[in-house]
Amino acid sequence: MEEKVIEIVQRYSGDKSYLVPILQDVQREFNYLPKDALFSVSAHLSVPISRVYEVVTFYKAFSLKPKGRNQLSLCMGTACHVRGAELIARNVEDFLGIKEGDTTADLEYSFETVGCLGACALGPVLVVNGEYHGHMNIAKSTKILKKLGKKVATDDEQD
């Protein structure tokens, strides 16, 4: 882990002002921000760990918890909101049994709501593992979740 962090820090020539992008790259590498990685960033960038922690907890993009294998993001921009995104959010929460921002205990699913994705013509938009699903409604979101569930089940059998 340390080697990877050093590599990322060097990408930015060890410049402290790039703390946010450095953390973004670290998160992309590990899917979240592991504690050890944060200490490495702190050491190699000569920024106190308290400052690193302050920045990590300030910005919404960072997660101190591991994310699930399947990542669902629902756009909660105003355009999606006025077209009923909130009802879809509740449906996804009820289906997965978690609240927005959480990950299921088996680390299979993460669900988050995000600010505007800027695909307002498609609103409401649900992004499933990077793929956009537009004109979302309650029934469609249930269908997507059921399909994902089946895929997860078959993957498990193969394991």
Partner 1 sequence: MTSKIKSFDELKSVQERLKAGRDPKKPCITICVGTGCLAYGTRKLVDNFREELAKRDLTGKIDFRTSGCHGFCERGPMVVISPEKIFYQRVGLADAGEIIDKTVLNGEIIDRLLYVDPQTGEKYVHEDDVPFYKKQTRLVFGQNSKVDPESMDDYLAIGGYSALGKALTGMKPEEIIQEVIKANLRGRGGGGFPAGLKWDETRKAKGEPKYVICNADEGDPGAYMDRSLLEGNPHLVLEGMIIGAYAIGSSQGYIYVRNEYPLAVKNIHIAMRQAREAGLLGENILGSGFNFDLKINRGGGAFVCGESSALFASLEGRAGEPRAKYIHATHKGLYDKPTNLNNVETWGNVPFIIEKGADWYAGIGTEGSKGTKIFSLVGKINNTGLVEVPMGTTLRKIVFEIGGGIPGGKKFKAIQTGGPSGGCIPEAHIDLPVDFDELTKIGSMMGSGGMIVMDENNCMVDVAKYFTNFLVNESCGKCVPCREGIRRMRDILVDIADGKGREGDVELLQKMAQGIIDGALCALGNSAPNPVMSTIRYFRDEYEAHIKEKRCPAGVCRALITYSIDPEKCTGCTLCAKVCPTKAAGGVKKKAHTIDPAKCTKCGACRESCKFDSIIVR
Nearer to partner 1, 118 or 155 (CB): 118
Report, in Å, the least distance between residue 69 CB and partner 1. 21
Report, in Å, the least distance between residue 107 CB and partner 1. 23
Nearer to partner 1, 16 or 151 (CB): 16
User: Both tokens of residue 30?
Assistant: 């590990």
Burial code (b: 16+ CB inside 10 Å, e: under 16) for 100-124 equals bebbeeeebbbbbbbeebebeebbb
SS (H, E, C) 12-31: CCCCHHHHHHHHHHHHHHHC
Nearer to partner 1, 10 or 155 (CB): 10
Q: Which residues form the interface with partner 1 (CB under 8 A)? A: 16-21, 23-24, 47, 51, 54-55, 58-62, 76-79, 81-84, 87, 90-91, 94, 114-123, 125, 132, 134, 137-139, 142
Nearest to 76 by CA among 100, 103, 44, 46: 100
Give the total residue count for the chain: 159
44 contact partners, CB below 8 Å, separation of at least 6: 5, 6, 9, 14
Report, in Å, the least distance between residue 81 CB and partner 1. 5
Nearer to partner 1, 120 or 152 (CB): 120
Burial code (b: 16+ CB inside 10 Å, e: under 16) for 54-64 equals ebbeeeeebbe
Nearer to partner 1, 130 or 158 (CB): 130
User: Both tokens of residue 84?
Assistant: 């009923």
Report, in Å, the least distance between residue 119 CB and partner 1. 4
Report, in Å, the least distance between residue 121 CB and partner 1. 4
